[in-house]
Structure 1
Amino acid sequence: MWEENELKTSWELPNAKLLALLATYIVLLCLTVCFANNITSMMGMTLPGGIYVFPVSFIICDIVSEVYGFPIARLFIWFGMISELIFAFLSQALIAIPHPDTFIHAQAYHTVFSPTVRYVFSGMVGFFSGEFLNVYILSKWKIRVKGRYFVIRSVMTTAIGQAVLSIVVDYLAFAGKMPTSELISMMYAGWKVKMIYSLFFVLPAWYIVSYIKKTDKIDVYDVNTNFNPFRFKLS
């Protein structure tokens, strides 16, 4: 009996900080999908509504990659994409349920949620071309500089990853819905907003990274990591 209890207490409990980051990450991605069709105008820039929350997901991936390594960040990206797929297809099923004539807001739900499947698939392509590129460069760069300069690395890799993601996602999601000149302008404006977010949140992110490394005594270097995005093992 003592050995059995000893074995149970020796198991590592789920990391609460990591779970909190994952929950926040998924919430942000689902909000992005919800408001992607809400085209806004901010300081003369045309922007999809999701732009105001999505950049924080990149910051979270930077934190996870820096502390726990590329394989955990890779799982975050996959969990995020799967969650978006579930959200998109369930939303289609729910708006397809018949409604009584007295409910006058059914069309509003269709307007908001009908495009979600297209947005999610365009977002998945963007993740592969932008999000994975971001954490890959961040991880490789960390090895070269021996873990220093997180603030600089985070901003620079975000600039690269978000540029690629903005082009891919905006083109796949909005091509044909607006003039090409306006689409290009929206891509550039979205990238600028994402970089403002990156600059604003990078110091809090650095504090979180330092706090987790210190309290959990973990700091992973991806020296022998397999960077295949389709690999699901934690190595």
Structure 2
Amino acid sequence: MEKLNERLILLTGIFVSALTISNVIAGKLVNIGPFLVPVAVLCYPITFAVTDIVSEVYGKRTAQKVVWTGFFTSLILVIYSQIAALYPPASIFEGNEAFMKVFGATPRIVLASILAYVLSQSHDVWAFHFWKRITGGSHLWLRNNLSTMVSQFIDTLVFITVAFAGTVPGTALSQMVFSQYAVKLIIAAIDTPFVYLGVKLVSGRWVVKEGS
């Protein structure tokens, strides 16, 4: 039991780190093949893999607690980032403009990010356990992919719509949703072996059956 608790702390740390890093680096756009996306799409999917591992080993309630831990961590990041951005810089500090570009996020972007996070992560936990009941605790690959792929779509759609609706043409908005989701979909499919490995390393079993 002690080892399981230690591993849960480690998983929560990975989750919070991936979430925080994603929030900080999201402002940089990169090309992945033909898709123009925030570089955070390479990091943020880790959070869905972690919640699936926690859901499988520790159960729905614990996974939801990890999600809310991430939520409060994000709030703390937002609050302190705004304090740091608004606080007058020292006269010898010449990098304030660059600092503001990274940490001076608009309230609309912040709202979009937090709303997308809560809805998508909560759905991921719910959907994972919905499919776990349907499959009788088998087919982890199916539960992982079905829950994560839909959750990633919710995250992408909510964030892009709330953050940019009315500021860019509708066709551009659709392209942004498609590009981000396409990349997230590929990463979601790739992460399945790592979810299996994570469950094995944490619990000692490849799949944790209902009630076990």
Contact kept in structure 2, 1:70 and 1:136, CA below 8 Å = yes
SS in 2 for 1:101: coil
* Distance of 1:178 and 1:151 partners within structure 2: 37
Cα deviations by residue, 1:142-165 (Å, 9 ceiling, x for unpaired) = 122221100121112111111111
Range moving further from structure 2, 203-212 or 169-178: 169-178
Contact kept in structure 2, 1:37 and 1:115, CA below 8 Å = no
Q: 1:37 maps to what in 2?
A: 27
Which amino acid in the other structure matches residue 82 of structure 1?
F
Which amino acid in the other structure matches residue 20 of structure 1?
L
Change (3 A) 1:116 1:220: farther
Which amino acid in the other structure matches residue 138 of structure 1?
F
Q: When the two structures are superposed, what TM-score results if normalisation uses the length of structure 1?
A: 0.81
Which amino acid in the other structure matches residue 43 of structure 2?
V
Contact kept in structure 1, 2:136 and 2:209, CA below 8 Å = no
Contact kept in structure 1, 2:145 and 2:188, CA below 8 Å = yes
Change (3 A) 1:197 1:69: same
Q: 2:188 maps to what in 1?
A: 198
Please report how far the alpha carbon of residue 22 of structure 1 lies from its aligned counterpart in structure 2 after TM superposition: 0.5
Q: 2:199 maps to what in 1?
A: 209
Tell me, yes or no, if structure 1 residue 149 matches structure 2 residue 139.
yes
* Distance of 1:172 and 1:86 partners within structure 2: 21
Change (3 A) 1:88 1:116: farther
Identity %: 24
Please report how far the alpha carbon of residue 100 of structure 1 lies from its aligned counterpart in structure 2 after TM superposition: 3.0
Contact kept in structure 1, 2:4 and 2:202, CA below 8 Å = no
SS in 2 for 1:15: helix
Change (3 A) 1:116 1:197: farther
* Distance of 1:84 and 1:118 partners within structure 2: 15
Q: 1:161 maps to what in 2?
A: 151
Range moving further from structure 2, 111-120 or 17-26: 111-120
Which amino acid in the other structure matches residue 167 of structure 1?
L
Tell me, yes or no, if structure 1 residue 132 matches structure 2 residue 122.
yes
Change (3 A) 1:93 1:66: same
Q: 1:20 maps to what in 2?
A: 10
Q: When the two structures are superposed, what TM-score results if normalisation uses the length of structure 2?
A: 0.89
Contact kept in structure 2, 1:137 and 1:157, CA below 8 Å = yes
Cα deviations by residue, 1:44-80 (Å, 9 ceiling, x for unpaired) = 3221222121011111111111111110111111110
Kindly indicate which of the two structures has a greater share of residues assigned to helix.
2
Tell me, yes or no, if structure 1 residue 173 matches structure 2 residue 178.
no
Tell me, yes or no, if structure 1 residue 186 matches structure 2 residue 162.
no
1:53 corresponds, among 43, 67, 73, to: 43
Q: 1:115 maps to what in 2?
A: 105
Please report how far the alpha carbon of residue 117 of structure 1 lies from its aligned counterpart in structure 2 after TM superposition: 4.8
